[in-house]
Amino acid sequence: MHDLSVAELALGLRAKHFSSTELTRHSLARINTLDTHYNSFITVDETGALAAAAQADARLANGDTSPLLGIPLAHKDIFCTEGLRTSCGSKMLDNFIPPYDATVTRRLREAGTVLLGKTNMDEFAMGSSNETSFYGAAQNPWNTQRVPGGSSGGSAAAVAARLAPLATGTDTGGSIRQPAAFCGITGLKPTYGRVSRLGMIAYASSLDQGGPMARSAEDCALLLNVMAGFDPLDSTSSERPTEDYSAGLEKPLAGLRIGLPREFFGAGLEANTHTRIRDALALLEQQGATLVDINLPHTELSIPTYYIIAPAEASTNLSRYDGVRYGHRCEAPRDLHDLYTRSRQEGFGDEVKRRILVGTYALSAGYYDAYYRKAQQVRRLIRQDFLDAFTKVDIIAGPTTPGPAFGIGAKTSDPLAMYLEDVYTLAVNLAGLPAMSVPAGHVEGLPVGLQLIGQHFAEARLLNVAHQLQQASDWHLQAPPEANV
């Protein structure tokens, strides 16, 4: 059953080839057997999953044909789940049991999905390798000596290893797309505001966006159909109507103009990865697409811009973790200052502390105009680059990452080298655009990803292009050797 797509699983459930309870037990058994190698889950909720599967079977017996009814999935441990620990990969929230569901969690529960558990992640979504997690690094199923990417590395690893057919992730600067590329799955970062942020623990409020992770574009479309939509309780949620993201998957690509930014194909891109990306683009050309060279002149400024804006917002968002209301609290504080200081010192890891310090500095008196305000001005220029490019092309394509997954521990001592892993993804978040990573072959046995970037609210078009690529290739069907056990 773990080799079936979500659409195939849904057909099997409706045809009574197997029940949701049987499918859920199969998934839980695989997690119990295989996740000792991957560390992709922080929390597994066997009791809750089996109860939800029983409810789904009852709905199926009554003729309910909801597309995701009875399908198991995993949530990144950043989405609040009522009554189930939500840690955000941090010691600070190790004991946090939310009293409510995130909007994404609630919508998927109401759709009849079966929550298997919560997946590993970089602490407070700050990282590109899943190595900052309080619960230890997750491993890449293609090579357990390599990182799965971050911060949604646990979700990517779980889907790649066939532990769950679907998973949610969040993307602040590439945290869905980069792990999707490293693990050989499909991941979509929607337009900012397309998916509710209510109950999604905040890192950088103007950049964070939840999205679907699955093996194929078709499966991502089914998941996005439930996740997307206006939320009146989220002030950043878009009121623009959603659409059926599965409806246009078969649309031909004839006449599609694909922009190739010169800045994405420079010296920083590894040669073998460049070859794989060109191979994937050639398949799109064969289906009638036209490749157009374009420029995104402010791309090189996306890293310094992001690493001023995101830490500044993180500094504000994480100020609420003070040892008073919820989260980690130090033992026997001497006074209020000691309570604040030691609770935060003990509760936060090094990378989180680093970003809080950078962000606080950028927002401090005398430096706000020089750093934060200037970064917001550059952000506007980056956004305008994309808007100008979309007057000439329909979508933009390029590599998701400079190369395949790097070794565990290879970059932990050099934060700047780690930050450079996001060089092709950060600008998308700064501009609020939708983008996705699609499997595009392998380099020395490790997956690489093709990144597709669309105009605002063009998720359906991106999914269409990705689906057509996957109809012409089998990269998304390939699994790590151990996943076939």
DSSP result, 335-396: SHHHHHHHHHHHHS-HHHHHHHHHHHHHHSTTTIIIIIIHHHHHHHHHHHHHHHHTTT-SEE
pLDDT of residue 148: 98
Beta strand 210-214 with 290-294: parallel, antiparallel or unpaired?
Answer: unpaired
Q: Give residue 419's pLDDT band: very low, low, confident or very high (50, 70, 90).
A: confident
From 90, 151, 238, 315, active-site residue: 151
pLDDT of residue 221: 98
Q: What is the mean pLDDT of residues 23-27?
A: 98
Q: What is the mean pLDDT of residues 28-52?
A: 98
Query: Smallest Cα–Cα separation from 202: which of 334, 86, 120, 97?
Result: 86
pLDDT of residue 63: 96
From 175, 196, 302, 315, active-site residue: 175
Q: Is 151 a catalytic residue?
A: yes
Q: Give residue 485's pLDDT band: very low, low, confident or very high (50, 70, 90).
A: low
Question: pLDDT tens-digit profile of 152-163?
Answer: 999 999 999 999
Q: Which amino acid is at 52?
A: A
From 19, 27, 40, 76, active-site residue: 76
Q: Give residue 415's pLDDT band: very low, low, confident or very high (50, 70, 90).
A: confident
Query: Where do the domains of the chain lie?
Result: 6-256+392-484
- CATH code of domain 6-256+392-484: 3.90.1300.10
C-alpha to C-alpha distances, 480 to 339, 447, 484, nearest whole angstrom: 47, 10, 7
Question: pLDDT tens-digit profile of 72-112?
Answer: 999 999 999 999 999 999 999 999 999 999 999 999 999 99
Q: Is 235 a catalytic residue?
A: no
Question: pLDDT tens-digit profile of 224-279?
Answer: 999 999 999 999 999 999 999 999 999 999 999 999 999 999 989 999 999 999 99
Q: What is the mean pLDDT of residues 399-404?
A: 98
Question: pLDDT tens-digit profile of 193-238?
Answer: 999 999 999 999 999 999 999 999 999 999 999 999 999 999 999 9
- DSSP code, position 91: G
Q: Is 76 a catalytic residue?
A: yes
